[in-house]
Amino acid sequence: MSKEQRLGEIIAEHHGREGPLMPILHDVQAEFGCVDAESEAIIAKGLNLSRADVHGVVSFYHDFHTAADQRPEVQICRAEACKARGVEALMTDAEAAAGERVKLSTVYCLGLCSVGPNARIGDDLHARLDSTRLTKLIESA
Ligand code: FES
């Protein structure tokens, strides 16, 4: 399926509801990692809006990106069980290790609550993290 076809499906899923633009933009961002110029044009056409209307919304909200973030991503669980097991004390070192090269994302529960603090890179889950292990993980991402 082409990107244009998938965008058409996303638009159709929300078309007809009140205020379809925001849910469409969220779905496009989730699926493609950004709402680029091509997507803006297709969404605008699908909703009978101007491209400027769509771009205005995309550029207003910090949640939306006009280009995909190419950096490696490390997701760190900061939900209650991982907090209770000390994840917050690891964050300063994690942020220092990540710098601008690695994108750190916060997630809320990776399903391994009893063995936290936990993180995920791609499909790989990493449990029982301490500062040293998390720093190495980020540096190797
Ligand atoms: S709270 Fe962190 S894995 Fe569930």
> Residues of the chain with pLDDT > 90: what percent?
93
pLDDT digit string, tens, across residues 89-137:
999 999 999 999 999 999 999 999 999 999 999 999 999 999 999 999 9
Ligand 1 atom closest to residue 110's alpha carbon, by position in its atom list = 3
The mean pLDDT value for 26-50 works out to 96
Residue list, ligand 1 pocket, CB within 6 Å: 77, 79-82, 109-113, 116, 118
The mean pLDDT value for 65-91 works out to 96
Torsion sign (Cα): 121, 28, 19, 66: positive
* 114 CA to centre of ligand 1 in angstroms: 8
For the domain bounded by 73-140, which CATH number is listed?
3.40.30.10
Structure tokens at 115: 């063995």
Contacts of range 62-68, beta carbons closer than 8 Å, 24 or more positions apart: 63/26, 63/29, 64/25, 64/29, 64/34, 64/35, 65/29, 65/33, 65/34, 65/35, 66/34, 66/35, 66/36, 66/37, 67/34, 67/36, 68/32, 68/33, 68/34, 68/36
Say what the pLDDT of residue 68 is.
Answer: 87
CATH 3.40.30.10 in the chain is located at 73-140
The mean pLDDT value for 58-70 works out to 91
* 103 CA to centre of ligand 1 in angstroms: 20
